[in-house]
Structure 1
């Protein structure tokens, strides 16, 4: 049975765990070998010399030295699990300490959070099911409980490598491919899950021989914002936020002619849904007072519910409506943009089945690719010299779309980009909920034809399905001539075309790359 992570327990981990508090903990140093001493069984797919061949390779952005990660295997293993094997290679001249870099993001007070000194932040993403699976944990009293590689006292030497593994709960049997999210690296997208046996590492835990704790499985959410409506999806439900400015005249609760088109669209989605309850909630901004706002928001919610009931032909649907006044804002009330977002009527119902994604056209990002689909520079003076280059925008067989891009310093300064690429109320009208810092969650894909803005996907409770520049060891200060490869994951509509990438700095679209096509 999966353990769903609740909001408030899944905020991003910002503070590193002080090593002085854990000096008594031990880890393996050097290049860990398979249990057989480097040999593999005849059925294991290997290159010459007995080593596993890399399936995919992606760059690792660590501040100490350039590096990359090879994915060696993704196989079904004992006790209904899936195990991934990696090789982290140091391409530079300084050692790389990953002790606190690959841990699970989250609230450090959460007792179920993965071991911060292990590869507990590596995730197996089932994009069709909108679930992210973290490595399994043993039932034990100490923190060394991850069914994955422990990284404390295990640096990657210059020119050397370390082997890393992570064992996950198996996604449903019908899931034949998955994307592996790896901290500080670009994801391994759309990887087949095989049944090929792989020789375990010397310290690798056999999940069939230990008592396992409940799996940690996070819901994946998507947010598509428009001026008239915003759609917020999780694995089970869809919430459609309709702009009250479109539905009603000021201080009125009678639907406008413009409202009809929007409500017909929502009614069609309810028809396709298998749920039997539709919840309609009215909301206001903080203009005025709730003595007026609450009854007005209640009347507006009832007007929308009544109209939807007349439009939907299904007879098994129950409609519930409620007004909340200004008590539940989704954005700041300090800006006009934020107040506009707060004036809304939200319609929530069971998420209808997703349409089949379009045929796959293209392939995922590859390390060392010189492809540049488009580029742009920033308007902000503090970002002068920084250049955005789009390397890949690929939609896979599940519909997951991953944007891979390079942030390059062509100037002479050393800008710190750690907090500049995040979504914020100041430049986007709304903060992420709950708050997070140090991600590329403010990088949007804008569809001018549909007038919608695709936010990077996020995990239940906050963490973004994107680059985490706030992670320990992440390279966020970019010197002259240096660059970092970053990424963001999206769930755009199947017909999305001619997109533009909007990168924040002092404004929401400070650098804009236009004319992007999903491949």
Structure 2
């Protein structure tokens, strides 16, 4: 059937019915003649898949994108087909497709379907109407039920803002498996299967739900770490490198660190630079506040002399210990909180002029894409299945973990990383990418979500292993599951060193 624009009063009635979990009236549009009957007698969607993935938690759940349509040049309608490829048991789908970055009452249904706007570093999710968790499929309203029978399929949809820049394709994301890059976007009206009615997002007030994606990286010598949100570059310079203990006079080593920062400011088009001093929780405000202010002023003065571009203004301020990046309960967390942060408009990716990454034969570490280890006494193997360059300076790493033993095993290494690298929930974030030539390490991306009571919660842009997905790291004998993570990928890199848990370092080509 064709895409239907629903009048405002009808849409409001639909939302009211959804809030009461009452079934929606049957659509008046005649069913598509392309639909065949499934074994259960339900009309079967025969559209070809534009992309597909598998659930990491439940490999029998196949997810296919069957429609991605831009509507009115500002909305995007995503249609997915969920299939139970198993032969033995029903599969629940609502828990798997829910977005765990929303409040608990909004996680259900298909709220986790979205797209990645890589140039804007934005993770776009379905709209939020006033009285409903999301503008997406609901098990009750759409008559989908909670389970998918063996060999059967259901169709779900989500309506969200279109990615910026009018792209011809997008990366479709779901909570269940690796993102699906390069899915073509059509500007034709969506064609839906029988029984599906897609509401008009302009028919009622809706809230956009967009998670900023921040991609962190750090120098191998620990002198600085960088967070890129697609708009601003935030460089946190280690106070332990810049200054002697309790001092605000720059060290000799600080000059080289500031020279690189000044080069990035010169490559930026922004007219202002913020310099902020920070301390850990040691001491008290009477000591930390003036010290952080003096240190920020010392960096401001040095940077303003090193930056050659005209028309750049600098502001310096100290915040003491009031804005920690990490917990102060570990030595590493406190070390990273002792910093001077320099923030300015993000330069173009090529402006950093990173040294070319050496070929795999010249880089340190083992070549090849596999590794082995142990979990609960069982042999465990790992294989990198791809390191794919996306638009906007991002990279998608995918890898498989397999239990080669004869007994069940839990593999918990993926969420056991450094204490300071904390997220809201457990995820497969114990992964690092390293550019040996540039002496720089890249960490999994972080989705930023406003926290209740203020502040920001961080969710890993990688495989989630919490909540309903807690059993993702449990492997039966011979079981194999695929994991993924989003990283910043340096411009021009052809090979990266990849470290996953305690497996050996691998030299992985970039495609």
TM-score (norm 1): 0.79
- Quote how far apart the aligned CAs of 1:439 are: 1.4
Q: Find out whether 1:149 has 2:154 as its counterpart.
A: no
How far apart are residue 319 of structure 1 and its match?
1.7
Please list the CA deviations of residues 426-469 of structure 1 after superposition, one character each: whole Å capped at 9, or x if unmatched: x424133xx42221123222333333221111212222221112
3-state SS, counterpart of residue 71 of structure 1: strand
After superposition, residues 104-503 of structure 1 pair within 5 angstroms as 104-108=99-103, 115-139=106-130, 141=131, 143=132, 146-151=134-139, 153-201=145-193, 202-207=195-200, 210-226=203-219, 227-355=222-350, 374-378=369-373, 382=376, 384-417=378-411, 420-422=413-415, 427-432=417-422, 435-461=423-449, 462-472=458-468, 475-503=472-500
The alpha carbon displacement at 1:180 in A equals 0.6
Q: Contact 1:56–1:70 at 8 Å: present in 2 too?
A: yes
- SS of equivalent residue, structure 1 residue 215: strand
Partners of 1:149 and 1:204 within 8 A in 2: no
The alignment partner of 1:61 has SS state of coil
Query: What is the CA–CA distance in structure 2 between the aligned matches of 1:357 and 1:320, rounded to whole Å?
Result: 23
Structure 1 residues 225 and 36, CA gap change in structure 2 (3 angstroms): farther
SS of aligned partner of 2:262: helix
Q: Is the 8 A contact 1:135 1:168 kept in 2?
A: yes
Residues in 1 aligned to 2:387 and 2:113: alpha-carbon distance in whole angstroms: 22
Quick one: structure 1 residues 491 and 342, their matched pair in 2 at CA, closer, same or farther if it must change by over 3 Å?
same
2:503 alignment partner in structure 1: 511
Structure 1 residue 253 displacement after superposition: 2.0
Q: Which runs of 4+ in 1 moved over 6 A?
A: none
Task: Determine the C-alpha separation between the residues in 1 that align with 2:138 and 2:414.
Answer: 30
State the 1:126 CA deviation. Answer: 0.8
Give the SS at the match of 2:55: strand
Indicate the residue corresponding to 1:83 in structure 2.
77
Please give the per-residue CA displacement for 1:56-102, whole angstroms capped at 9, x wherever unaligned. 22112334x62211211212235732112221111112111112221
Matched pairs, number: 455
| Structure 2 portions without partners, runs of 5+ | 1-17, 36-43, 354-366, 450-457
State the SS of the aligned residue for 1:86. strand
1:8-47 maps to which residues of 2 (within 5 A)? 25=21, 36-39=30-33
Residue of structure 2 in register with 1:72 after alignment: 66
Give the whole-Å Cα distance in 1 for the aligned partners of 2:330 and 2:161. Answer: 44
Q: Secondary structure at the match of 1:261?
A: helix
- Report if aligned partners of 1:136, 1:168 keep a CA contact under 8 Å in 2: yes
Please tell me the root mean square deviation across aligned C-alpha atoms, in Å.
Answer: 3.1
- How far off is 1:291 after superposition? 4.0
Instruction: Give the superposition deviation at 1:345.
Output: 1.3
> How far, CA to CA, are the matches of 2:393 and 2:377 in structure 1?
33
CA contact (8 A) 2:113 2:158 kept: yes
Structure 1 gaps, min length 5? 1-21, 42-48, 359-371, 505-509
Q: Is the 8 A contact 1:136 1:212 kept in 2?
A: no
Rounded Cα–Cα distance in structure 1 between residues aligned with 2:352 and 2:152: 41
- Normalised by the length of structure 2, the TM-score is 0.80
CA distance in 2, matches of 1:135, 1:314: 42
- Structure ranking higher in strand proportion: 2
Alignment check: 8 A CA contact 2:349 2:393 kept: no
**8 Å Cα contact 1:78/1:206 also seen in 2:** no
